Protein backbone atom coordinates (compact mmCIF):
# COMPACT_ATOMS: atom_id res chain seq x y z
CA UNK A 1 0.00 0.00 0.00
CA UNK A 2 1.35 3.42 -0.94
CA UNK A 3 1.44 5.96 1.86
CA UNK A 4 0.78 9.68 1.40
CA UNK A 5 4.51 10.44 1.70
CA UNK A 6 5.27 8.14 -1.29
CA UNK A 7 2.91 10.00 -3.59
CA UNK A 8 4.68 12.38 -5.93
CA UNK A 9 2.50 15.47 -6.18
CA UNK A 10 2.64 17.70 -9.25
CA UNK A 11 1.42 21.13 -10.25
CA UNK A 12 -0.04 19.68 -13.44
CA UNK A 13 -2.20 17.33 -11.33
CA UNK A 14 -3.01 20.08 -8.81
CA UNK A 15 -4.48 22.46 -11.38
CA UNK A 16 -6.85 19.73 -12.60
CA UNK A 17 -8.64 20.09 -9.25
CA UNK A 18 -11.27 22.83 -9.43
CA UNK A 19 -11.78 23.98 -5.86
CA UNK A 20 -9.56 25.39 -3.14
CA UNK A 21 -10.68 22.60 -0.79
CA UNK A 22 -9.77 19.87 -3.30
CA UNK A 23 -6.34 21.41 -3.83
CA UNK A 24 -5.78 21.73 -0.08
CA UNK A 25 -6.72 18.05 0.43
CA UNK A 26 -4.30 17.06 -2.34
CA UNK A 27 -1.43 18.99 -0.74
CA UNK A 28 -1.89 18.55 3.00
CA UNK A 29 0.90 16.59 4.62
CA UNK A 30 -1.12 14.89 7.36
CA UNK A 31 1.10 16.13 10.16
CA UNK A 32 4.42 15.08 8.66
CA UNK A 33 5.91 18.55 9.06
CA UNK A 34 8.70 17.16 11.25
CA UNK A 35 9.64 14.50 8.70
CA UNK A 36 13.32 14.97 7.88
CA UNK A 37 13.29 18.79 8.06
CA UNK A 38 16.27 21.11 8.35
CA UNK A 39 16.67 21.48 12.12
CA UNK A 40 20.14 22.85 12.86
CA UNK A 41 20.93 22.97 9.14
CA UNK A 42 18.37 25.71 8.52
CA UNK A 43 21.15 27.80 6.96
CA UNK A 44 20.93 25.44 3.96
CA UNK A 45 17.37 26.34 3.03
CA UNK A 46 18.01 30.02 3.81
CA UNK A 47 20.95 29.99 1.38
CA UNK A 48 18.69 28.37 -1.22
CA UNK A 49 15.89 30.92 -0.79
CA UNK A 50 18.36 33.83 -1.06
CA UNK A 51 20.03 32.52 -4.22
CA UNK A 52 19.59 34.38 -7.53
CA UNK A 53 18.35 31.18 -9.18
CA UNK A 54 15.58 30.77 -6.59
CA UNK A 55 14.59 34.45 -6.76
CA UNK A 56 14.17 34.22 -10.56
CA UNK A 57 12.17 31.01 -10.27
CA UNK A 58 10.04 32.48 -7.48
CA UNK A 59 9.08 35.41 -9.70
CA UNK A 60 8.24 33.02 -12.57
CA UNK A 61 5.95 30.98 -10.28
CA UNK A 62 4.19 34.10 -8.98
CA UNK A 63 3.56 35.22 -12.57
CA UNK A 64 2.40 31.74 -13.63
CA UNK A 65 -0.05 31.49 -10.69
CA UNK A 66 -1.17 35.12 -10.96
CA UNK A 67 -0.17 35.63 -7.31
CA UNK A 68 -3.17 33.51 -6.30
CA UNK A 69 -3.37 31.08 -3.39
CA UNK A 70 -3.02 27.53 -4.70
CA UNK A 71 -3.09 29.10 -8.19
CA UNK A 72 -6.87 29.65 -8.05
CA UNK A 73 -8.07 32.86 -9.73
CA UNK A 74 -10.03 34.98 -7.27
CA UNK A 75 -7.84 33.88 -4.35
CA UNK A 76 -5.28 36.67 -4.75
CA UNK A 77 -2.66 36.81 -2.01
CA UNK A 78 -2.60 40.32 -0.54
CA UNK A 79 0.38 39.72 1.73
CA UNK A 80 3.75 38.04 1.19
CA UNK A 81 3.53 35.27 -1.39
CA UNK A 82 5.20 32.04 -0.35
CA UNK A 83 6.33 29.43 -2.84
CA UNK A 84 5.47 25.96 -1.57
CA UNK A 85 7.20 22.73 -2.62
CA UNK A 86 4.41 20.25 -3.34
CA UNK A 87 6.83 17.48 -2.37
CA UNK A 88 8.80 18.58 0.71
CA UNK A 89 12.53 19.01 0.16
CA UNK A 90 15.37 17.90 2.40
CA UNK A 91 18.98 18.91 2.98
CA UNK A 92 20.08 16.10 0.66
CA UNK A 93 17.81 17.43 -2.10
CA UNK A 94 19.56 20.81 -1.85
CA UNK A 95 23.07 19.33 -1.61
CA UNK A 96 22.48 17.03 -4.57
CA UNK A 97 20.69 19.70 -6.62
CA UNK A 98 17.75 17.30 -7.05
CA UNK A 99 15.10 18.01 -9.67
CA UNK A 100 12.44 18.71 -7.07
CA UNK A 101 14.16 21.80 -5.68
CA UNK A 102 13.83 23.96 -8.81
CA UNK A 103 11.13 22.14 -10.80
CA UNK A 104 8.16 24.46 -11.48
CA UNK A 105 5.93 21.35 -11.50
CA UNK A 106 6.81 20.97 -7.79
CA UNK A 107 5.97 24.57 -6.84
CA UNK A 108 2.83 26.65 -6.21
CA UNK A 109 1.99 30.05 -4.71
CA UNK A 110 0.44 29.98 -1.24
CA UNK A 111 -0.40 32.43 1.52
CA UNK A 112 1.22 32.09 4.93
CA UNK A 113 -2.04 30.68 6.37
CA UNK A 114 -2.40 28.12 3.58
CA UNK A 115 1.25 27.10 3.94
CA UNK A 116 0.81 26.39 7.65
CA UNK A 117 -2.50 24.60 7.06
CA UNK A 118 -0.82 22.32 4.49
CA UNK A 119 2.09 21.47 6.78
CA UNK A 120 -0.06 20.88 9.84
CA UNK A 121 -3.01 19.40 7.90
CA UNK A 122 -5.32 21.78 9.74
CA UNK A 123 -8.02 23.45 7.65
CA UNK A 124 -8.87 25.63 10.68
CA UNK A 125 -5.71 27.62 9.86
CA UNK A 126 -7.07 28.58 6.44
CA UNK A 127 -8.40 32.06 5.79
CA UNK A 128 -12.17 32.01 5.83
CA UNK A 129 -14.08 34.35 3.55
CA UNK A 130 -16.48 36.60 5.44
CA UNK A 131 -20.15 35.68 5.49
CA UNK A 132 -22.10 37.99 3.22
CA UNK A 133 -24.66 39.72 5.42
CA UNK A 134 -28.10 40.83 4.26
CA UNK A 135 -30.56 43.23 5.88
CA UNK A 136 -32.39 41.61 8.83
CA UNK A 137 -30.60 38.26 8.50
CA UNK A 138 -29.91 38.22 12.24
CA UNK A 139 -33.33 39.43 13.26
CA UNK A 140 -35.55 36.48 14.19
CA UNK A 141 -38.90 38.23 13.64
CA UNK A 142 -38.12 39.78 10.24
CA UNK A 143 -37.58 37.92 7.02
Which segment of 15-19, 79-83, 131-135 scores lowest on mean pLDDT? Answer: 131-135
pTM of the model: 0.79
pLDDT at 129: 65
Cα separation values, 52 from 33, 47, 55, 56, Å: 27, 10, 5, 6
| Whether residue 33 has pLDDT greater than 70 | no
49 versus 122: which is more confidently predicted?
Answer: 49
Q: What are φ and ψ of residue 125, in 5° steps? A: -80, -10
84 Cβ contact partners less than 8 Å away, ≥ 6 residues apart: 27, 107, 108, 109, 110, 114, 115, 118
pLDDT at 4: 44
* Distance from C-alpha of 62 to C-alpha of 107, rounded to nearest angstrom: 10
The pLDDT of 28-32, averaged and rounded, is 72
The pLDDT of 77-82, averaged and rounded, is 95
Amino acid sequence: MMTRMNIIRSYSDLIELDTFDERFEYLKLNGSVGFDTFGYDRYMNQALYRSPEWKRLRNDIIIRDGGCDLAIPGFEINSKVLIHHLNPITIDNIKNNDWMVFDPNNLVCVSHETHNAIHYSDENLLFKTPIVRTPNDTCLWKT
